[in-house]
Amino acid sequence: MNILVLYGTTEGQTRKVCAFIAERLRAKGDVVTVVNAAAPGAPFDLRDFQAAIVAASIHVGQYQSAVVEFARVHHASLNHMPSAFVSVSLSMVDSDAEELLSLATITENFKAYTGWTNAEIHHVAGALRVGAYDFFKRWVMRLVAWEKKLKLEPGKDLELTDWEALAVTVDGLHARFVETVARKKD
């Protein structure tokens, strides 16, 4: 199966998540093209792919604009192929009802704005990239870590992505993609 994995990232965790997704799919025999939405390189046509996974991280309540614009422009194609949206955020670290409601609102607004209505949403915890932050952001993120009761060691990044859970998600997406493509051929 030929699968597009397109992403937007701010500090690099979503790129890391998508590299993991791509390797997991390749291990199943898929041909995977990974594209950074902000620097897509050579042009591509969604019709060349049988399925798509789009991923972005939430920063200040929004996804990367390049991903939002890609989904808005290509929503018709995405709606006619097996596809999924991977939302990366720190909101997945705890089960605070208000945080989860905010996360659901952000993803629903994304779907409504872009018109990508069949997007199967999967939430993944991100990371705190302390070394990538300026003084102000480092201070804010330390406050966020404190509020979420996360142990942040001075000068060290904090990886929060549950790679085993992501592997299960990718395996489930792959199975759904294969089944949907097979049904379309019948």
Please tell me the predicted confidence (pLDDT) of residue 9: 93
Same domain flag for 150 and 84: no
Same domain flag for 19 and 76: yes
Start-to-end CA distance of the chain, whole Å, equals 16
Per the listing, tokens 């699968």 go with: 3
Please give the Cα distance from 94 to 176 (Å, whole number): 28
Cβ count near 174 (within 10 Å): 22
pTM of the model: 0.87
Per the listing, tokens 């990886």 go with: 159
**In total, how many domains does the chain have?**
2
Same domain flag for 168 and 92: yes
- Beta partners for residue 32, in sequence order: 3
Diameter over CA atoms, the chain: 57
Please tell me the predicted confidence (pLDDT) of residue 160: 84
Can you give the CATH number for the domain in which 11 is found? 3.40.50.360
Same domain flag for 71 and 114: yes
- Domain limits for position 16: 2-126+161-185
Please tell me the predicted confidence (pLDDT) of residue 129: 74
Same domain flag for 169 and 116: yes
Here the tokens at position 27 are 């291990």
Same domain flag for 13 and 90: yes
Residue 118's φ and ψ, nearest 5 degrees, are: -95, 10
Identify the segments of the chain with pLDDT beneath 50.
none
Same domain flag for 151 and 176: no
Segment 77-111, tens digit of pLDDT? 999 999 999 999 877 666 678 888 888 899 999 99
* Triad 16, 116, 20: Cα angle to 5°: 15
Please tell me the predicted confidence (pLDDT) of residue 90: 79
Same domain flag for 84 and 173: yes
Same domain flag for 76 and 22: yes
Residue 41's φ and ψ, nearest 5 degrees, are: 70, -135
Same domain flag for 55 and 81: yes
Please tell me the predicted confidence (pLDDT) of residue 133: 64
Nearest to 149 by CA among 100, 89, 95: 95
Range list of H helices, the chain: 13-27, 65-73, 75-79, 97-114, 135-147, 163-185
Same domain flag for 63 and 21: yes
Centroid of chain to Cα 38: 14
Same domain flag for 134 and 43: no
